[in-house]
């Protein structure tokens, strides 16, 4: 029997346990699914008013919110099992690496308990990388376009994909699915493109709960959107510079560098962001990856338990570790040792 079968079964088992634990959990995010789903079923546009607070993304996942919360979680946990298989393929069929992803508590807690759908863009992103590794450039771009449509953060890696596409105008495919999603939703629900784009553009994480944002909040008390706008602009400019300068032969390494920089330098944060890094950390295993993996798992347990007195200093320690990891990968020190 293929050893991956046991990996797959272990992944199914822990996700069933996570689903049972999170079955009766109701929070802002699951309530948001219900609010957006109710509006969608009634033919009412969620944009701009409802979406601005509850679904500030490209209208792709929004159709899934018409299902009961239980079924949304089941769909997302199934998607995460697909991620287990993609990690297996991208790791050159490594059983230890795919097993670690299969049993990782980070994506399970974020999906089954928190009620976030970041495993969906992760799935499309990993699939796009697998297709690109196997020289299916056009299909890779189309799937990468699905990743951006499902949640906008994969757009951080657009430049990395563009460098590897020939001919260059193939990048037009990247915008295809997001544009179609906005156009189709606008036609069905009779809402303007600009109202949707404004909602998507204005999305931001929670300021003052992580890293530099936390330090700024503690030191100067800055937290209002007006006061943090310039910090947001500064961060995205810095991210753009890093994306331009940092180049790696392996696209997985390049994405890892950008993600670590994001965690180290971002002023705004949300706990679901931690799910983005997990597969890339396990696939590339940079210095400190095991400490980060274990620390992030424990950190989330205390966050979801509401133990702020413990989770806050743990989050600070996790951020400091991320800063060190980011410096090592960006400077290339990681490759020299």
Query: Within a domain: residue 218?
Result: yes
In a domain, residue 106? The reply is: no
Mean pLDDT of the chain: 91
209-to-15, 79, 215, 217 alpha-carbon distances in Å: 28, 29, 9, 8
In this structure, is residue 67 part of a structural domain? no
Residue 163 lies in a domain: no
Would residue 307 count as lying in a domain? yes
pLDDT digits (tens, 9 = 90+) for 149-202: 999 999 999 989 888 876 666 778 889 999 999 999 999 999 999 999 999 988
Asked whether residue 71 is domain-assigned, the answer is no
More confident residue, 186 or 24: 186
Q: Is 105 a domain residue? A: no
Residue 253 lies in a domain: yes
User: What pLDDT does residue 226 have?
Assistant: 54
Quick check: 145 pLDDT over 60?
yes
Q: Is the pLDDT of residue 337 over 50?
A: no
Domain limits for position 292: 205-337
What pLDDT does residue 336 have?
42
Average pLDDT over residues 62-86: 96
Instruction: Please write the tens of the pLDDT for every residue from 294-303.
Output: 999 999 999 9
Confidence of residue 335 (pLDDT cuts 50, 70, 90): low
pLDDT at 215: 81
Long-range contacts of 231-238 (CB under 8 A, 24+ apart): 231/267, 232/204, 232/267, 232/268, 235/265, 235/266, 235/267, 238/265
How many domains, in total, are found in the chain?
1
pLDDT tens sequence across 235-257: 899 999 999 998 898 999 999 99
Q: Using alpha carbons only, how large is the chain's radius of gyration in Å? A: 19
């Amino acid at each position: 029997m293929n050893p991956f079968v046991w990996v797959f079964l272990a992944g199914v088992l822990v996700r069933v346990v996570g689903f049972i634990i999170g079955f009766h959990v109701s929070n802002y995010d699951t309530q948001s699914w219900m609010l957006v789903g109710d509006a969608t079923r009634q033919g009412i546009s969620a944009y701009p008013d409802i979406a601005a607070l509850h679904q500030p993304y490209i209208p792709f996942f929004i159709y899934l919110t018409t299902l009961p919360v239980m079924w949304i979680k089941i769909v997302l946990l199934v998607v995460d099992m697909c991620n287990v298989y993609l990690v297996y393929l991208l790791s050159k069929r490594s059983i230890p690496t795919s097993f670690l992803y299969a049993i990782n508590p980070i994506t399970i807690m974020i999906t089954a308990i928190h009620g976030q759908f970041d495993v969906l863009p992760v799935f499309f992103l990993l699939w796009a990388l697998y297709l690109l590794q196997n020289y299916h450039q056009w299909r890779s771009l189309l799937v990468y376009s699905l990743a951006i449509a499902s949640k906008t953060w994969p757009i951080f890696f657009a430049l990395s994909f563009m460098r590897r596409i020939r001919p260059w105008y193939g990048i037009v495919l990247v915008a295809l699915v997001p544009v179609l999603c906005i156009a189709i939703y606008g036609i069905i629900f009779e809402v303007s493109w600009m109202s949707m784009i404004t909602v998507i553009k204005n999305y931001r994480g929670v300021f003052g709960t992580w890293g530099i944002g936390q330090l700024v909040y503690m030191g100067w008390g800055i937290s209002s959107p007006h006061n943090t706008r310039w910090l947001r602009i500064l961060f995205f400019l810095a991210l753009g510079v890093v994306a331009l300068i940092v180049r790696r032969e392996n696209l997985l390494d390049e994405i890892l560098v950008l993600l670590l920089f994001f965690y180290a330098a971002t002023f705004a944060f949300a706990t679901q962001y931690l799910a983005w890094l997990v597969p890339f950390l396990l696939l590339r295993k940079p210095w400190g990856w095991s400490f980060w993996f274990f620390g992030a798992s424990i950190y989330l347990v205390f966050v979801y338990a509401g133990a702020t007195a413990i989770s806050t200093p743990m989050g600070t320690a996790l951020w400091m570790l991320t800063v060190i990891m980011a410096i090592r990968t960006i400077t290339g020190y990681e490759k020299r040792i």
